[in-house]
Structure formats: C-alpha cells, structure tokens
Amino acid sequence: MHRLKHAILLWIFFATLFGVIARYVFDEASLADKAWIIGVTPVLIWVVWDIIKSLRHKNLGVDFIAALAIGGALLLAEYLAAAVITLMYASGQSLEQYAANRAKRELTALLSRVPTMADRYVNGTLESVPVSQLQPGDRLVIKTGAVLPVDGYVSGSTATLDESSLTGESLPVTHTEGQAASSGTLNIGQPFDLITVHDAANSAYAGIVRLVQEAQKGKAPFTRMADRYALWFIPLTLMVAGGAWLFSGDPVRALAVLVVATPCPLILAAPIAMVAGISTAARQGLLIKNGAALEALANSERIILDKTGTLTTGNPRLVDIETDDTFSHEEILQLAASLEQASFHVVSNAIVESAKQRSLPLIIPKHVEDVAGNGVQGMINDQQVMIGQSSWVLDSNQTPAPDWIASLLKRSSHNGQMLLLVSVDHQVRGALILQDEIRSDTPRALRSLRASGIQSLSMASGDQVEIAKSIGHALGMDHVYAGLHPDDKVKIVRQERQQGVTMMVGDGVNDAPALAIADIGVAMGAGGSGASSEAADAVLMVERIDVLADGLRIARRSQMIAKQSVVVGMALSIIAMLFAAFGYLTPLVGALLQEGIDVLVIINALRALRLPAGHYNILNVEQEEKLQKEHADLQSTLDQIRQLADRLASQQSVATEEMTELARMIEQKLIPHEQIDERQLHPELAHKMVGNDPMAMLSRTHGEILQLCNQYLSLVNQPHDEQQRNAMIGVLYSLSAILKLHFAQENELYSLLASDRHA
C-alpha cells in the first residue's frame, strides 16, 4: 500500500509540474487543464473510497474537507488549485504511511510461524498429520527448515535451533539429547527426533498466539489527532463556506473557503511532528511503530513493568548451595543441572551454566517431567531426582521440612532470593539459592518516569509473592502483582486501563498478550523475545530501560509540537477563511496562501527532530564495561562474605581455613580495588564533573568499607571464642550490606556517565 501511495504522489507531482510548464511557459491552457485533471482524479477517487470506509465505522475525518475542496475545484474549473490541494494531501498521507511502516521492517511476523502439519512416527513409518492431532509422548521428526509444532525434548541426536522468535537470541542454539526444545523455534540443522510433552493447544507458542489474537481483537482502535480536531473543524468550515455562498450567490467564494480551510496543518504538520518524534526516539534506541503509538506513549499515565528481564537482568545467578552433608555441593549442583537441562524455565539456564563454569559433567536424564510452575523431576543414574519450589518438593516427598530447610526458607524470603530444593530418592538433600539482580539503570529510569508525569508504577511478575515484593519494595513500586500467568497479566492491564492510559513493558513470550492489550505496549527487543516485539507498539532496541523515560519525554514533546503546529495553522486557516468568504481571496491564491501556512507549520513541526543539549560522555562504553566487570569479578567475594556471616549466625561450624581464605581475598582483591577507586578513578571522574567534590559521598563510603575490612582482618587473628564470633558476624553483615549498596551506586553512576542521555 505504501508503494502505491508513493507512486500516486510522484504521479501528482509530475502532472502538476507538467501542467504549470504547459500553462505558463508554452501558453497551452487546454493541455495544462488536462494534465491537472489527470493528476487529480486518481487521488479524488482514493480519498472518496477512504471516506466511504470510514463512514462504515461511523467515522468522519479531515479527508472529507479535502474531498470537498478537490471536487469543488474540479467542478468550478479551478484545476491548478485542485492540483495544489491534491499534492499537499498525498504528501501528508505518504508521511503518515512512512511512520506506520518504519518499524515493521525490523520485526518478524508472529502468526505466520504457526505450523499446521507435523511428521509423526506410526509403527515405524512416517505420516503427515495435522498438528491438532498430536499428543504427549508422540515421536516426531523435525526436518531442516521446519518450525517445531509443539513443546518436547530432543531424542537420539543433537538439534541446532534458531530460537529468535521466542527468545530474541540471534545465534543458533545447540540442544543435546534429553534437552527441552520449545514450539515456535526453527530447525536450522540436521533433522532430529522430538518427543512431545504437550499437545498443540497447550504448547507455549500456540497459547501465546491465541492470547495475542484475542487481545488485539479486543483492543479499541486509536483515533488520530487529525480526526479528533476534525470533529469541530468540519462543521465550522461548512458553515463559513455555506454562508459565503448564501450571502454572495457566488459558488467560487465557497470553493475559496474550502481551499483555505483544507486542513493542511492536520494533514501535514501532525504527521511530520510524529515522524520526527519517531525518528528522534529511534536514535535514542526506542523503535515506535506508528504515530498512534507515539500519541499513546505521550498520553501514558500508568505503567506496568514486567520484573524478570525488564526491571532485573533476567539472568538469575546461583549465589549459594546448601546440603545436609549426604552429598557435596558439587554433587548436588551436578544432579540439579543434569535434570534442569531438560527444562524450559529461565532459572534452568542459570543452574546449567553454573555447573559448566565449575566443569561438572552433565548426565542425560530419563523420564523427565516438567511440572509447570513447580519444578522438574526425572531419573539420573537410577536415582529419582526432583528440583523445584520448596512446597512442591516437600509435598511430593511427604516429609516434614528439616530444621535447616526451615531456616533457609526464612532467610531467602527476607533476602528476596529464590530457593530451590533438591531431593534424591524422596529425601531432601540440598538447596540452591538464586538471585535475579536489578538492572543498574532501573532506579534512575523509574525516577525519570515519575519526573515525566507518570502517576502510577506497577510491577507484574510470575515469581513468588515474597520475591516479587522484595524487588518491588526496593524499587518503590506503587503496586506489586506476583504469581501471574499470561492471562493474569492481561486482566491486570485491563484493570489499570480503567484508571488511565496504561503502558505495559515486558520482554518475554508470556508478556506478549499483555503488550497487545495495553494502550501502549513496549517490548525489550535487544534481549527479549520476537513474539513480544511483534505484539508491542514500541520496541526498546537497547538493553536499557532508561531509554523508555527518554522516549516518553520525546513523545510528549513531539505531541506538544504537533498540537502547537495544528492550533497555529488552523487559526491562520480560519482567518484566511474569513478573507475568502468576503471575496478577498480566489481559490488559486487561497491554495498558495495555504501553502505558505504549510511552510510555517512544517518548520515548527520539524523542531521535534531536535533534542535538548545533553552532557558530553565522561566515560565511554568500553570504560563502563570494564568498571562493571571489576564489580562482577568481585561478586564471588561478596557472596562468600554473606555466606560466612550466615553460617556463623546459624551456629554452624566454620573451619579456620575458610575464614583465612576470605581474609586473603579481602586483602588481595577487595581492599586494592577500593583504594584504586578512591585514589585514582574517582578523582579523575570528579575532575570532569560539575560541582565542588561531586564524589564526596562515595569517598565516605570507601572509608567505611576499608575500616570494616581491616576490622575483619584483625578479628581473624584473634582467639576463636564466642566474643570473637559475635564481633565477626556484625562486621561481615555490615560489610556485605554496604558493599552491595556501594557497588549498586557505582554501577548506576558509571552507567549515567557513559550514557548520552539528554535532559
């Protein structure tokens, strides 16, 4: 369609130009009139057809005045005026179409990926069957280039899959025998066998497609700014034109009124400001799909943000392992990772990666059952192994929680951590503690959103209530919704929309239905899923949610400029209408005057391309990554500090060698890091920043950290009695808390100094 509109625009331009040359250069009036008629007629037909379609939906927009002006000019033989109006109208339509198609080039189609047939083994032979007939336990062959029709696990060989449609991962992913493979992914390697675990209706991808379709059908269409203004401008124009004709008896006066009333500011200024805003937002990393999405973004009052992958990194980190001493830490992790490699959950990847980092060999599990929302169970080396939520594991094994598990449950709940129990042959033998960390730019982004006028910030998560509330309260959320499924998120969005224009921000496949039903859905495109990007109205193309606050400011500024251009342009048009009504303007002069008004409002609309001046980057991206990597390398030291404090506080026995090893890490890694920051890095940053001693607060924190480190080093060398133990617990907990806060502050500072975010 947009190619057709561009072709029509070129057709009108050349027809108008040819007519002008024929009329004013060669004095061929008849030829000029024919050229203008030939150029104008296709657009008039196109406009009338659009009006008819709008009337079917009981809508009447600015196109109506344009059609009256073009048709009236043709009837009264004002062909050049008709050509000028037509050229202007087609230009505005092309700009609007350009805005609507800008983002579609970047996205894949969600619905087109749904397979309808599958190749299933039946009595040793293959038969092609409808996907709807597949049942759990069926063995399928997935050919090269085929999309997986249902969820399952790889059997008999390895599989190389393109998972970009679900995970956003651009690189191929290799799955070995026994590993889970999700529906909607594409086989780009050799054919392999798939054992189904769900039927088509219950597979992840099919469920998401169904919810997205339902959400999009139930979403009310957005009314263009131009059409909203047209509701009162059309009657006003018709009254003035009718009055001019009635009192003068001259239909040309009515035509002149229609010509100068042709809402050029609506047809041109608003789309130009919107396209400029879309372009500006794209430069900052927010891809907005069309002008309606930009308007919805500008009008947003409430925001719902998904937790995992949006507010947090989405990559849970294994921070601790506990056992009942029957198995070692490494053995518990090996069993858990071997079983989790057949699971679909994001936590599974963290456990598997932790095992690989420790070079633990993984075993292929058998008889795997993935219980949605609870955990995974299966056979490993003839042992029945379960890993999952504590309530599910304890209930399945029908055993009371041991004292050490009860203590862990309380501690992980207080710390906002995820606790997974591991049972072997129906006895709980270990626990894995994981934590999903808040993005370094999240607190600043939320502050910016509130400063931009957002009235309510809510967090939606599928995690347990305790974990979600811990993150939500730390971020100062107004509302925290936890334990949600995709359809629950849709209900939450509908509830929020009743209170104001609502934005939904998410990254996963399970967020796609909520993104589709929200007034404005924003997907995390850089690390999120292709399904969420397809369902959303805007896509964050960088792994920073502070860009969303920038996009909100850009959208509101663009909308303000568009309204400003429209109001000024329409005011000038109304003045011109009055002059035309009294016979001071002919249709042609009116068309040219309207072009002058166009130029003024277009120049004003183009201001949306500019951003307010920002600061120069104090750090470049490489420096920021280097500094944050230093903190990541010290994370193991921070984990050991907290783990040792917990064990001392729970009266567990702690070997002297463990305390000495921690002292060595503090002395060789942590203290030198803090000293370099205090003596070299921060003075260099302060020199480039504005203000007197801008790093003073962090400098004070460095002093506190170094003091606590030296206290611990002193305590390690003292006699190991109850007094020394209590003192060490206090020092370690204090050091753990202040280091966690300090590193978060520094990471946020480095992120800010390395960004080119504008005020």
Q: Is 623 exposed, middle or buried (0-12, 13-18, 19+ CB in 10 A)?
A: middle
Q: Residue type for 275, please?
A: V
Its sign, for the CA torsion 499, 501, 506, 511, is: positive
Q: What is the spatial distance between Cα 742 and Cα 673, in angstroms, rounded to a whole number?
A: 13
Question: Which H/E stretch holds residue 505?
Answer: strand 502-506
Residue 750: φ, ψ to 5°: -65, -40
The answer to whether 704 and 738 have CB atoms below 8 angstroms apart is yes
How would you write 316-358 as a 3-class SS string?
Answer: CEEEEEEECCCCCHHHHHHHHHHHHCCCCCHHHHHHHHHHHHC
Active site residue 677: no
Point out the catalytic residue in the list 63, 162, 199, 306.
306
Residue 193: φ, ψ to 5°: -95, 145
The answer to whether 569 and 601 have CB atoms below 8 angstroms apart is yes
Partners of 349 in the β-ladder: none
Cα 599–Cα 603–Cα 607 angle in degrees, nearest 5: 165
Q: Which residues contact 708 (CB under 8 A, 6 or more apart)?
A: 731, 734, 735, 738
CA distances (Å), origin 284, targets 289, 545, 546? 15, 11, 10
Encoding tokens for residue 634? 């010290």
CA distances (Å), origin 608, targets 143, 270, 273, 298, 728? 50, 11, 6, 13, 59
Q: Is 605 exposed, middle or buried (0-12, 13-18, 19+ CB in 10 A)?
A: buried
What is the pairing mode between strands 192-196 and 152-155?
A: antiparallel
Residue 407: which region, alpha, beta or left (left: phi > 0; alpha: psi -120 to 50)? alpha
3 state SS of 117: strand
Q: What is the spatial distance between Cα 753 and Cα 614, in angstroms, rounded to a whole number?
A: 11
Q: Which residues contact 562 (CB under 8 A, 6 or more apart)?
A: 225, 269, 270, 273, 274, 605, 608
Q: What is the spatial distance between Cα 582 and Cα 585, in angstroms, rounded to a whole number?
A: 8
DSSP state of 499: T
Q: What is the spatial distance between Cα 333 and Cα 394, in angstroms, rounded to a whole number?
A: 19
Q: What is the spatial distance between Cα 472 and Cα 475, in angstroms, rounded to a whole number?
A: 5
The answer to whether 424 and 339 have CB atoms below 8 angstroms apart is no
CA distances (Å), origin 102, targets 107, 134, 205, 290, 530? 10, 39, 26, 7, 17
> Which residues participate in catalysis according to the annotation?
306
